[in-house]
Structure 1
Amino acid sequence: MGVADRLDLTLRLVQGSDRVSVSELSQRLGVSEMTVRRDLDVLERQELVRRVHGGAVATKAREEGAGFVAREAWQSATKDRLGARVAAMVEPGSRVLLDAGTTTVHVAEHLAARRPLTVAVLSLQAAMCLADRPGIDLLVVGGRSRPGERSLVGPLALRTLESLAFDCFVMSIGGAHAEHGWSEFSLEDAAVKQAGLAQSARTIAVADATKLGVRAFSQVAPLGAVDSFVTDTGAEDSETHPNGPHTLKALRTAGVPVLLA
């Protein structure tokens, strides 16, 4: 796993818990405790985590959106390839629900070429990306902007989604696990994704290879709940992503077509 991949996943694991230990991070990431400590030092210098005895906790910087801003630049080339591949799967004229996340911002950039589209967005970044684009009828789902992520969540978001129907849901995800399915680090994000799944005729899940084999805090759905999964080619490399091949096999066994970008 590359450094940027590790930092991304380390930050999400810390933010998904009140406190996480160095030993737990070492086990989850498959690296030495010394490497974990170095990575935590990097994140602490960026004011994204705070080191405590034996581990780390998230800092208040996440409440100002620093978590998203820091991750946005990591693996941007990979995420742009994923965004282009997903957008190419969306038929012009569709009603699309676009999830929150750093990868789906890249999807939004490429969706403009698939116009005309009606696109409902679950993040402030995607809304800014698609605003005023010719041929894009933009709907911003109501709700509360979740601190650190700028994803739209809560009862208002859920009620809005329950009143709409979509041809396609582009779902980003925190973790894809062979036994435990799709999962998210936040209960609120998980609830919104469950509503999106229920209101959409088709769901395309998208995530980079660092999410494979990860079991985040809140389960969203079994692997077979989506219609296709788009990830990067690194997912097939067991040396850089030890859980990748096993998770891809589980997805295919569940009847989910896997597309590599």
Structure 2
Amino acid sequence: MGVADRLDLTLRLVQGSDRVSVSELSHRLGVSEMTVRRDLDALERQGLVRRVHGGAVATRPLEEGGGFAAREQWQPATKERLGAAVAALVEPGSRVLLDAGTTTVHVAEHLAGRGPLTVTALSLQTAARLADRPGIELLVVGGRSRPGEHSLVGPLALRTLESLSFDCFVMSIGGVHAQQGWSEFSLEDAAVKQAGLAQSARTIAVADATKLGVRAFSKVAPLDAAHCFVTDAAAEDAATHPGGPQTLQALRKAGVETLLV
């Protein structure tokens, strides 16, 4: 396991527990306690965990209110793999609607090499990654930039989406649950995703495994609204992601293709 992937998994293990010890992390990760301590120190410097005697505890939940800048540091190696996998599913020549979110920034970087594409961006961050890239015709949805997130929301964004049609919607998501379906923490972001779903021939949903089993505040759509779901292979590990296997089973039962990377 590379350093970046080990840091991702360490952070997941800490976030998934009230408190985790250095010895437990050493056993789970198959590395020395000295290595674990170095990794925890690195994560603490980023503000992602807090060191306590003999172990570490989680800081505030990043996905529910840390803002884009805070969440951007969460699992970068995992999101890079997800971004590459999603971009590989997009056919050159497509009209793509690209959602807001920290994972879709990585998708944008890989889409830059998949041109020719017409990409409509739902956030300022993804638009910045694709501006002036050869082979990419970039459109930016109007609307209000949501503070802390820079996702584009509101009536203007919705009206713009209703006037367009897309071959593919790459949808990031705050939560996916066997009963609730796809959901988001923000009502405004949920409304934009609903419009994107309605205007797209195909939807590829993408999220890291920590989103499986999560019921966020606002329901976006039932599970079968997406055609494909891309997540990381840790979703199958019930020890680190208790809601993962059940959610994957529900997705497959709903006819959603699941791709684990």
Question: Contact 1:5/1:74 (CA < 8 Å) preserved in 2?
Answer: no
Q: Tell me the equivalent position of 1:17.
A: none
Percent identity reads 73
Pair member with larger Rg: 2
Aligned to 1:193: 193
Q: How do 1:149-160 and structure 2 match up within 5 A? A: 149-160=149-160
1:34-91 CA-partner distances (Å, limit 9, x unpaired): 67xxxxxx99x959xxxxxxxx999xxx7xxx62111112211100100000000000
Q: What is the aligned partner in structure 2 of residue 4 from structure 1?
A: 11
1:5 Cα shift?
A: 3.6
**Structure 2 CA distance for aligned equivalents of residues 197 and 6 of structure 1:** 33
Please, what TM-score do these two structures have when normalized by structure 2?
0.78
Please state whether the residue corresponding to 1:91 is helix, strand or coil: coil
Question: Which letter maps to 2:198?
Answer: A
Residue identity opposite 2:176 in structure 1: A
Q: CA, structure 1 residues 191+6, in 2 after alignment: closer, same or farther (shift >3 Å)?
A: farther
Any residues of structure 2 matched to 1:82-161 within 5 Å, and which? 82-161=82-161
CA shift, 1:2, in A, is 4.3
**Distance (whole Å) between structure 2 residues aligned to residue 5 and residue 89 of structure 1:** 27
- What TM-score, normalized by structure 1, do the two folds share? 0.78
Tell me the CA shift for residue 6 of structure 1.
7.0
Determine the structure 2 residue equivalent to 1:23: none
**Alignment correspondent of 2:170:** 170
Q: Aligned partners of 2:129, 2:102: CA distance in 1, in Å? A: 12
Structure 2 residue ranges without an equivalent (≥5) = 1-7, 21-42, 49-58
The alpha carbon displacement at 1:113 in A equals 1.2
- Cα distance in 2 between the residues matched to 1:67 and 1:186: 12
Please give the root-mean-square deviation of Cα atoms over the aligned residues, in Å.
2.3
Q: Deviations over 1:91-149 (max 9, x none)?
A: 00000000000000000000011100000000111011000000100000001111111
Aligned partner of residue 229 in structure 1, secondary structure: strand
For 2:201, what is the secondary structure of its paired residue? coil
Aligned length: 218
Cα offsets for 1:146-173 (capped at 9, x unmatched): 1111100000100000000000000000
